[in-house]
Structure 1
Amino acid sequence: MQSPTSSPSQTTDQSVADNSTGKRRIGIDYVAKAFNRWWTIEVAGTVDQQAVIETRRAECELTGRYVLMVCMSAGIAILGMLLSSPAVVIGAMLIAPLMDPIMGVGFALAVGDFRWLGRAVRSLVLGTVIAILFCALIVMFSPIQVVTEEIASRTQPNLFDLMVAIFSAIAGAYAVIRGREGTIVGVAIATALMPPLAAVGYGLATLNSTVFFGALLLFVTNLTAIALTATAMARGYGFSTRLTEKQSRFQAFLIFAAFVALAVPLGLSLYQIGWEAQAERTIRDGLFDAFEGKAQSVDPTVRFLDDSIEVTAQVYTDTLFRTAQVEDRARAELEEALGRPVSVQIMQVESADAVEAQRLQLREASERQQDARQQADTIAQRLSILAGVPVDDITIDLQRRRALVTAQPLEGATLAAYRELERRVAATEPEWDIRIVPPLRGLPEITFSEDAEPDAAGRRAIALTIWAQRRIGIPLRLRGPQTQVARVREALAEAGIEPVDEVGGDETDGVQPEWLLPE
């Protein structure tokens, strides 16, 4: 029945609109059904699911070959990264067997075979742990323990790394399903599963938390993306599953949630990288502005700290300005533009003829400073391990090239053992003054030969006593025969140490130095 408020023309227009909408819906449904029929018959129907599943099951088994290839690929990866050789690192990617259990996890999740899933996870976890420990062992015995470019590149994953892992996983899953196994080689290089694990091992061996957690996040990103993408691809190709419809929907939700959980921190990391790149451009422009158009070129070095920015710049200019004036001007402009505290140090070079020479000298000085900082980090990490203290407890003086650490007491370790540790570190760093302050331990007895002179063992004991007193700083007391005590006092005085007390002893005994502790 027509509404009394609607005209015949309005009713006709509504009917035409409803008819048009219905035809579009029918057309969309027809296309969807046609596509589904084509996909089911022509694409998914041509896959031998049983053969694919059996192959994936076999490749997930924990075998001696799998463990051997994990160790070999891990060893090649960490050596290539320490040498900063991309070719060697690529070789480790090609032989790494971790792709097989990860693909197994994805397909096991898709078909709902939890026994298979358990075997794949076991192989993956064991392979991961073996790779990390094997790399850490190599790094511990390696004379090279600096953070190379190959290591640093695996410590700051971002959203682009997740996208690379997803695209590579799609290619890998397609290759597995359609029998294009040769494609797996390219996928292994693109996703790079072993180099992040090698970097994790480096971080573990050197107690570098930044490298450890950054590389671990990259590995987890690649692992999760490959496994979940393989699951989605297998479900898309119609692999039969034991999951109910409700469980399948819940699985799809979990896959989506996992990708979102990875994308959020990686997206923030990508944003931070982009912000720092933009900030460096702003800093360069701000330094040019501070010189009022008189600067020929600006070569800034920027360090981004937690809540501030440090800028050191070399500026080549036709006219020299007051350094404090241009630094204050640049600092005010950059803080306003970047919204963070900024410290600015500027070195000006006036002569155009000496620009290249000055630039070379400054760059060499900067490189020497950077090398010294890297060397100091390496020394601090080694002393941290040897002394059993955190890296932050080690005092480093870059200008004097001096490193000082107070060692924790080690069971059974004598003063001679601590002195030997100091000697070994100092032998590898001849330009540095390495000092290990040992815990309070008993001093060795100074023995004498028949002619009342210290014998070989006695001379070693005197040298150890001198070293210990210089490190600990507590006064000494000498106990022994008067003649022998006088000889020891003379040797200590030559080293600038004056005992404050003497106690007589048996004439047949040697001299026993003791710490003079307050009562």
Structure 2
Amino acid sequence: MNSDTTDGKNTPAGHVAAAVRNPQWSFLRVVVSFRRWWREMVVETVEQGEVIARRREECALSSRYLFMTAMSAGIAVLGLLLSSPAVVIGAMLLSPLMDPIMGLGFALAIGDYRWLRQSARSLAWGTAMAVGLCSLIVFMSPLQDITPEIASRTRPSLFDLLVALFSALAGAYAMIRGREGTIVGVAIATALMPPLAVVGFGLATANWTVFWGALLLYITNFVTIALTVWAMARLYGFSVTLTERQSRWQNFVLGAVFVVLVVPLGLSLRQIAWEATAARQVRTELADNFGSAARLSQPEIEFDTDPMRVSAFVWTTSLQPDAEVRAEESLARVLGTPVDVQLKQFLVRDEQSAEEAQLASAKEAEEEAARDRLDDLAARLAVAAGTSEDDVLLDRQRRRALVRAEPLPGASLATYAALERRIAATEPEWRIELVPPIATLPAIAFEGEEPDAATREAITLAGWTARRLNRPLTVSGPEADVEAVRALLAEQGVEAGTGEDGGTLRLAWGDRTTE
């Protein structure tokens, strides 16, 4: 055996140390060593064929994909019209648009343009269906006002680009490493469906500012995801069948698309920065008009109106009838734009009373926000379970939420488990329990002496189902395999009985002992 291998010098860390001690070791050699380590220890451990096969299957234009897209779009646009964040989040949970977008990235990485066309076709049909259905719902709806939920999705910025980037990094890593179960909240973070619903709203109401702003946000999200997945796939060694010239051209086109997106988003970020500065100046000017003894609530500013509107509460020891006029003049001079100021003044005895009134108002607002958060959680669970909010049980003291799901068309036990994980990821302080309806348990099979990743995932799903339904399981099949499955279930706190010896390995429901 080579002595360099035994003493650790042939590792990336050893090369770095040697480069420091010996100037003849170049930085290039360290880089080459690291690339070799990356290829041998990381890239070669990825089952590329399995990853590609799974991603290709999920990009197909199926009836399930179209149905779930339509349902997600309908829920999203109703949530936007009602200005209900909980309903909008429910739409994100159901949206399957992530699959063809991920497919675009992998297809680009391996140069499979047939797969690329398939993914683009699925994405195009899903996008067109969502926009068309949302437009129809808005057109027929008596509610056509621009709600805060709609307005928040009409002006993308570089921050939206970063959200999509980090979400795509997490999603691509999980898919490449075969850990899709860790993609918790990716669809929520990138928010693909709500912007499409806003596009439909803008089309139905002929509001082209809303239409183009939301469309840019949607394009920003899906292009960023696709490019990030492409880069991650190439980093993990997914092969490409392009010639060198074609590869350079592909890289140039992808880079150009990314730059084209950055320009309008950069301009949007500039506007957001100005608004942040303006908000600080508004608070300073309003506070100066009343002196240090007064207390001011957080001003509410509407930047999109003409003139710009500012409203706030003031607790002061001396009412000032001309405060609004003076504030309008000073703010117009500082900001360079007309401002309409509306102040509601409350007379207090002294500075201490002003502080107490301000704190009481803040506490009331905080309690109201907490109630809204609970209502949102109940609404999200109700949407995921297909029930009403009255069927959701919330224990505020123990921070536990429970709901029994109704059978959903085409939903498997894995679907209910995924919905629970996604909602739980948004509420880390709560114990979320979504009880699925009784259904057929997943099939299990051992390829060799040990269960593979798919079998372990199926056993984990069966254990989760047994805990949620509080029902026992039985395991039948060869004795050695049965004991292995029972041990894996025991690790989850589920005790399983034994069924028939021999035959095919299988899971079944046991006799109910408790409710």
CA distance in 2, matches of 1:289, 1:63: 62
Map 1:81-480 onto structure 2 (within 5 A). 81-291=80-290, 295=294, 297=296, 300-305=299-304, 309-311=308-310, 315-321=314-320, 323=322, 329-344=326-341
Q: Is the 8 A contact 2:131 2:199 kept in 1?
A: yes
Q: Is the 8 A contact 1:327 1:344 kept in 2?
A: yes
Secondary structure of 1:247's match? helix
On the 8 A contact 1:313/1:345 being kept in 2, the answer is yes
CA contact 2:296–2:312 (8 Å) conserved in 1: no
Cα shift readout 1:122-154 (whole Å, capped 9, x = no counterpart): 111111000111112222233433333332332
Distance 1:228 1:120 in 2: 14
The change in CA–CA distance for 1:24 and 1:200 in structure 2 (over 3 A counts) is farther
Change (3 A) 1:165 1:321: closer
Q: Does the residue aligned with 1:145 lie in a helix, a strand or coil?
A: coil
Considering only CA atoms, is the larger Rg found in Structure 1 or Structure 2?
A: 1
Matched residue of 2:25: which SS? helix
Q: For the structure 1 residues 76 and 340, does the alpha-carbon distance in structure 2 shift closer, same or farther, using more than 3 Å as the test?
A: closer
Q: Which moved more, 1:308-317 or 1:255-264?
A: 308-317
Flag the 1:287–1:229 CA change in 2: closer, same or farther, 3 A: same
Q: CA deviation at 1:71?
A: 0.9
Partners in 2 of 1:301 and 1:104 — Cα distance?
Answer: 43
Query: Which amino acid in structure 2 is aligned with residue 196 of structure 1?
Result: P
Change (3 A) 1:276 1:245: same
**Residue ranges of structure 1 left out of the alignment (5+ in a row):** 1-19, 361-519
Q: How many angstroms apart in 2 are the aligned matches of 1:257 and 1:25?
A: 40
For the structure 1 residues 36 and 21, does the alpha-carbon distance in structure 2 shift closer, same or farther, using more than 3 Å as the test?
closer
Pairwise CA distance, 1:281: 2.3
Distance between the aligned counterparts of 2:312 and 2:49, measured in 1? 65
1:307 positional shift? 7.8
Contact 2:81 2:143 in 1 (8 A): yes
Equivalent residues, number: 337
TM-fit CA distance, 1:197:
1.1
User: Secondary structure of the residue that 1:146 maps to in structure 2?
Assistant: coil
How far off is 1:102 after superposition?
Answer: 0.8
Following TM superposition, the consecutive aligned residue runs of length 4 or more in structure 1 with deviations greater than 6 angstroms are 353-356
- 1:485-504 equivalences under 5 Å are none
Name the structure 2 match of 1:419.
Answer: none
Partner of 1:64: 63
The yes-or-no answer on 1:74 pairing with 2:103 is no
Output the CA distance in 2 between the equivalents of 1:292 and 1:54.
Answer: 68
Q: RMSD between aligned alpha carbons?
A: 3.3
Whether the 8 Å CA contact 1:284–1:298 is kept in 2: the answer is no
* Corresponding residue of 1:14: none
Q: Kindly state the Cα deviation for residue 318 of structure 1 after the two structures are TM-superposed.
A: 3.6
Contact 2:195 2:215 in 1 (8 A): yes
Normalised TM-score (structure 2): 0.58
Give distance in 2, aligned partners of 1:25 and 1:340: 64
More contact order relative to length (CA 8 Å, sep ≥ 6): 2
Q: Hey, what's the Cα distance between the residues in 2 that align with 1:179 and 1:67?
A: 25
Give the stretch that moved more between structures: 179-188 or 232-241.
Answer: 179-188
Q: CA contact under 8 A between 1:157 and 1:218: conserved in structure 2?
A: yes
Q: Please say which of residues 164-173 and 84-93 is displaced more in the overlay.
A: 84-93
CA offsets 1:459-504 (integer angstroms, 9 cap, x no match): xxxxxxxxxxxxxxxxxxxxxxxxxxxxxxxxxxxxxxxxxxxxxx
Name the CA distance, whole Å, in 2 between partners of 1:290 and 1:181.
Answer: 56
Q: Distance in 2 between matches of 1:180 and 1:227?
A: 19
Q: Aligned partners of 2:87 and 2:325: how far apart in 1?
A: 48
Following TM superposition, by how much is the alpha carbon of 1:97 offset from its aligned partner in structure 2, in angstroms? 1.6
Q: Deviations over 1:261-295 (max 9, x none)?
A: 32332233233223223312212221232345575
Whole-angstrom distance in 1 between the partners of 2:39 and 2:197: 42
* Distance 1:162-1:316 versus aligned 2 partners, 3 A rule: same
Counterparts of 2:177 and 2:225, CA distance in 1: 17
Q: Distance between the aligned counterparts of 1:86 and 1:178, measured in 2? A: 32
Write the distance in 1 (CA, Å) between the matches of 2:122 and 2:55: 13
Matched-pair contact (CA < 8 Å) for 1:294–1:319: no
Corresponding residue number in structure 1 for 2:32: 33
Task: Give the conservation status (yes or no) of the 8 Å contact 2:156–2:216.
Answer: yes
- AA aligned to 2:75 is I
- CA offsets, 1:49-102, max 9 Å, x none? 223223222222222222112112212222233333333333322222211111
Please state whether the residue corresponding to 1:176 is helix, strand or coil: helix
The percent identity for this pair of structures is 58
TM-score of the pair, normalised by structure 1: 0.58
Q: How big is each residue's C-alpha offset from its partner over 1:368-422, in whole Å with a ceiling of 9 and x where there is no partner?
A: xxxxxxxxxxxxxxxxxxxxxxxxxxxxxxxxxxxxxxxxxxxxxxxxxxxxxxx
* 303 and 72 in structure 1: CA distance in 2 versus 1, 3 angstrom threshold: closer
